[in-house]
Structure 1
Amino acid sequence: MNHLDNKMKFGLFFLNSVAPWKTDAEELRDGLEQIKVADQLGFDTAWIAEHNARKYGVVSSTAVYMAAAAAQTTHIKIGSAVTRLPLHHPLQVAEDMALVDVISDGRLYVGVGKGYDAYEFEAYSEDFDQRHDKYLESLDILTTALQNEKVSYSGNFYNIQDIPVYPRTVQKPSPPIFVMVSQNDSSIINAAKQGHSFVLGGITHEDTMHKISLYRKTALESGLSKEFVDETISRSGKLIFCYVAETDLQAVEEYKRGLLWYMSERDNRPVFGIIDRERNINYDDFLKSENTIIGSPETVTKGLQRYREETGLTNIILWMNIGGQPQNQVLKSMRLFSEQVLPHFNSSVKVNG
């Protein structure tokens, strides 16, 4: 028997993949319905991905889709996971995000990244090799623009002189900024120095604990207060594959089709820490991954309890709709999670195991 004394928060991740059995419109509308239902079911966050020129992710602007989601919800926080800063002018990102913050009445989380797909940069005639330097410059401008009414900046890519930024955000001094973190430690170090929260990708439990410890150490050494660091970490999250059905076998079978299509559509496997590029995806290996929790409500509850005990994380982002899962299955999984899993983590309750 174990007690879960700290309330956990659970979000949902939306990549909006157009599988062969769906149209673009169906997938996008299904995603918005899922966010609306998630708001009613008590999920904490909805995270929207951004891609272009790829059918595995057809939301080309996080801000547009987030605005639509914000307008139909009242409680759930809406986050970008992520807005690829090198592909946008940072002032426009700040203006668009501020607009979403107003539409949502202060429920915006701004997730940023540099992008990892050279083909997507080529489609926009952007230099893929410059993305790191351009990302750092853009993040400085975005941070300044969200916090201040005017921006001045002189850099290698942007020269901005005393430009007003409207609208002003509801959240003060600005909406929280989140940095996507994967294997490299440099991203978590930079996030800690700047006081940004983070979202962890497909890394091991051991690396997860390492990065959280490194973040805390770096942030405190940078002069940030313990209270501020605790707050940024409590907001931060980790992406995992999760799906709930009535039985373990049913969950495994229902999740399989979308997962295998998604993994075959592009060589995404190494990005999420599932399997090496050189091997074909093995579904049984996927199910054994540290980042996979799929099964009945009881199995998922125990898996999440174990995950929290091993990593210390209290904020988990669930990827239920991978590869354009059928809408009735996704909504069923969400409801089962809300009704039979979430109550175990909302207060101190005993979980058999």
Structure 2
Amino acid sequence: MLRSLAEGSRPPVAGYDGDVRLGIFLLTTRFPGQDDAAAVSRTVEAAVAAERAGFDDVWLAEHHFMSYGVVPSATLMAGHLLAVTSRIHVGTAVSVLSTQHPVALAEQAALLSLLSGGRFHLGVGRGGPWRDLEVFGTGVPRYEHGFAESLDLLLTSLRDDRVSWEGEHFRFREVPIVPRALVPPSVTVACTSPATERLAAERGLPMLLGMHVDAGEKAAAVARHGDPALPHVSTHVAQVADTREQAVTTLMTEMPRWLAPGLDGYVAVDDRPRPSPDPVGYTRRMCGIHPVGSPDDCVESLLTTVEKTGITHLILLVEAAGSREAALENIARLGADVLPRLRAAS
């Protein structure tokens, strides 16, 4: 039953016929010297610029209590971006299920789907053992053991007119679910472990694979999932310049400046150990496994991912150079010099 929901909830995408689909990914990081208003304004500008540059979609991160990302509700931000654009699709990457009620999230997703004519896409994830769990009262047990139940309740609420529930983490009598989307928004699951990959596969849902793994690791995840025909999504850091040396130098100089204070915002809710973040090492790895370089370098890197993984939906973090101007220039140049060539070659 859940598989039929996943299959039936993929709305047709204007201009997409099965070839490579390219989007942008926005963290809404507060860069050094900026305030939150500047970070949010930059995200809106980036979404409008991505639509103008010909990208297919925009994906929004969700975080609490940190400068790494200052958007606490990806669905709320998605609603605004859907209102200021007309063609581009907008998705959440991700809405964190461990800190909100699945029925409430399903209501928001259905409303956004109705308001946007089907341009909204719901990406969900488990999140982490962070202090959000304490602040919002959902607790560590639901984070550690409740993701499958939360996901099932979300999918049921997107599918059925009326829902009741009797589970470990949720119990309530039957209620009508309103509003109802004409077609339920598609759902993608962020996967960082084989266990989550299996959970997504059992429900017939595509995976959202993150920036921290390379093409080989993503290919292995697709193989473990077992359904390469689903519209899985691959996330990348992307920085285009005249040469690879210029692009790498830009990221190695700028990315650690905002990563260091941002990553410090990940504070565990309990005493579990957490490795010390290494912004410089992380940036170096991103430059090594992602489309960072000349237009030729970027096209080659992205096509390699498509060929190795079979994933044809790629989303690009375009803000890594650490300023509004650099992000907008990166979007424009990726749109002009990389996107058309990638589509032509696929």
Q: Distance in 1 between matches of 2:278 and 2:67?
A: 23
Of 255, 258, 262 in structure 2, the residue corresponding to residue 259 of structure 1 is 255
2:111 maps to amino acid = L
Residue-by-residue CA offset, 1:289-326 (whole Å, 9 max, x unaligned): 32x22112122122222332333322211111137x21
Displaced runs of 4 or more, over 3 A: 276-280, 282-285
Corresponding position of 2:269: none
- The answer to whether the 8 A contact 2:248-2:293 is kept is yes
| Pairwise CA distance, 1:247 | 3.3
Residue-by-residue CA offset, 1:64-97 (whole Å, 9 max, x unaligned): 1000011111222211111111211111111111
Of 35, 55, 69 in structure 1, the residue corresponding to residue 67 of structure 2 is 55
| Pairwise CA distance, 1:154 | 0.9
Corresponding position of 1:133: 145
Structure 1 position 285 matched with structure 2 position 319: no
Q: Structure 2: 5+ residue runs without aligned partners? A: 1-17, 267-274
Match of 1:281, SS state, is helix
Corresponding position of 1:107: 119
**How many residues are paired up?**
319
Match of 1:17, SS state, is coil
Match of 1:46, SS state, is strand
TM-score by length of 1: 0.83
Residue-by-residue CA offset, 1:93-140 (whole Å, 9 max, x unaligned): 111111111122101111111111422222323312431333222211
Corresponding position of 2:189: 179
Q: Distance in 2 between matches of 1:137 and 1:190?
A: 11
For the aligned residues, what is the CA RMSD? Answer: 2.3
TM-score by length of 2: 0.85
Match of 1:347, SS state, is helix
Residue-by-residue CA offset, 1:25-63 (whole Å, 9 max, x unaligned): 111011011111111222122111111111211111111
Q: Distance in 2 between matches of 1:114 and 1:278?
A: 21
- The answer to whether the 8 A contact 2:241-2:295 is kept is yes
- The answer to whether the 8 A contact 2:148-2:199 is kept is no
Structure 1 position 214 matched with structure 2 position 204: no
- The answer to whether the 8 A contact 1:245-1:332 is kept is no
Corresponding position of 1:222: none
| Pairwise CA distance, 1:211 | 1.4
What percent identity do the matched residue pairs reach? 26
283 and 107 in structure 1: CA distance in 2 versus 1, 3 angstrom threshold:
closer
Match of 1:163, SS state, is strand
Corresponding position of 1:347: 344
Corresponding position of 1:272: none
Structure 1 position 95 matched with structure 2 position 112: no
- The answer to whether the 8 A contact 2:46-2:328 is kept is yes
Q: Structure 1: 5+ residue runs without aligned partners? A: 1-5, 220-228, 270-275
